[in-house]
């Protein structure tokens, strides 16, 4: 017979006391508030509250100075659509400028990215050189290029006798338009290049090597593999360039000031003149609200289209 083993009394399992959920909840709330709170307060004070005040003033005839604020309803908006040819002209210029600037800036930025993604010894130096114009402020950059267009091109024209340098770059409507596009693209292409370079570095090189073994050409690699894989970068770059081109102000005012004869006046300059020079703050804010809606529609449609392309790719 096997000996019996006596065991002691069974001890109850030790149960850990749960930490009160209320304490954890308040701790997490305080932690989130400490990090998000200051940014949220600044966002409300700098963005939301001024936007709501501007929305209110767009329905008034306030001149921006006096304490009397007269409610006029939709009169400012009706006036924009029926009796403001200058605003319509500035909007057409800004839209045309946006399309040209977006295409040229992204083509140059993507071209720089492809160049610098190759095994070049000087690619780090070239990245700095290409990105450097984006660091220079818009007003300063505009005045530098104004000197180049007026003085520098005139000197080159006299020395080389080329008609390209003898053109009135900032004195004629057509050449002034392309002058602003050139300066904008020169400034912003380096910023787009950084985004495209980051996207290109995330492409799996094994896919490219396999495609080369199968006989794919460089153009096929670019259009069938590289571009579809970096479509999110195109979405970001298109969004940024569209919003920047629509809101152009500093380059425009330093290069041409909207001239000659308001032919190169952007919407931002028109709003600025209406509110702060003509002292029609109510009408100026109505234009800014309308402009905000237009830019929001353009950028939203662009993001929706490019996001759909990403899914298809």
Token duo for residue 76: 């400012």
The pLDDT value given to residue 311: 59
Sign of the C-alpha dihedral computed for residues 259, 262, 263 and 268 taken in this order? positive
Q: How far apart are CA 50 and CA 59, in angstroms?
A: 15
pLDDT at 15: 54
pLDDT at 308: 86
Other Cβ atoms closer than 10 A to 155: 10
CB 96 within 8 A of CB 181: no
Looking from the CA of 145 toward its CB, the CA atoms found within 13 Å total: 28
Q: What pLDDT does residue 284 have?
A: 93
| The CATH number of domain 76-312 is 2.60.40.1930 | no
pLDDT attached to residue 218: 87
Q: What is the pLDDT of residue 8?
A: 53
pLDDT at position 58: 92
Look at residue 165 in the predicted model and tell me its pLDDT.
86
Q: Is the peptide bond before 267 cis (omega within 30 degrees of 0)?
A: no
Report residues of the chain scoring pLDDT below 50: 1
Helix (H), strand (E) at residue 176: helix 173-201
- Alpha-carbon distance 38 to 12, whole Å? 50
pLDDT value of position 10 = 52
């Amino acid at each position: 017979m096997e000996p019996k083993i006596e065991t002691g009394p069974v001890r109850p399992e030790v149960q850990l006391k749960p930490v009160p959920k209320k304490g954890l909840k308040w701790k997490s709330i305080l932690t989130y508030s400490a990090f998000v709170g200051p940014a949220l307060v600044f966002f409300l004070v700098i963005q939301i509250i001024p936007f709501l005040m501007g929305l209110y003033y767009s329905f008034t005839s306030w001149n921006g100075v006096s304490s009397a604020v007269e409610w006029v309803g939709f009169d400012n908006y009706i006036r924009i659509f029926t009796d403001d040819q200058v605003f319509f002209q500035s909007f057409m210029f800004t839209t045309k400028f946006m399309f040209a600037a977006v295409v040229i800036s992204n083509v140059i930025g993507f071209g720089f990215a492809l160049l610098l993604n190759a095994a070049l010894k000087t690619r780090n130096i070239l990245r700095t050189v290409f990105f450097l114009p984006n660091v220079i402020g818009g007003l300063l950059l505009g005045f530098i290029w104004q000197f180049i267009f007026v003085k520098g091109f005139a000197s080159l024209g006299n020395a080389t006798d080329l008609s390209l340098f003898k053109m009135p770059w900032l004195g004629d409507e057509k050449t002034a338009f392309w002058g602003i596009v050139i300066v904008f693209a020169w400034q912003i292409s380096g910023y787009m290049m950084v985004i495209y370079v980051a996207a290109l570095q995330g492409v799996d090189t094994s896919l490219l090597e396999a495609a080369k073994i199968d006989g794919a050409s460089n153009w096929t690699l670019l259009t069938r593999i590289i571009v579809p894989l970096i479509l999110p970068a195109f979405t970001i770059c298109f969004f940024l360039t569209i919003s920047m081109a629509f809101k152009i102000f500093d380059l425009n005012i330093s290069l041409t000031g909207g001239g000659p004869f308001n032919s190169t006046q952007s919407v931002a300059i028109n709003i600025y003149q209406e509110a702060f020079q003509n002292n029609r703050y109510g009408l100026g804010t109505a234009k800014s609200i309308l402009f905000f809606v237009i830019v929001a529609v353009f950028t939203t449609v662009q993001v929706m289209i490019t996001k759909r392309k990403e899914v298809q790719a």
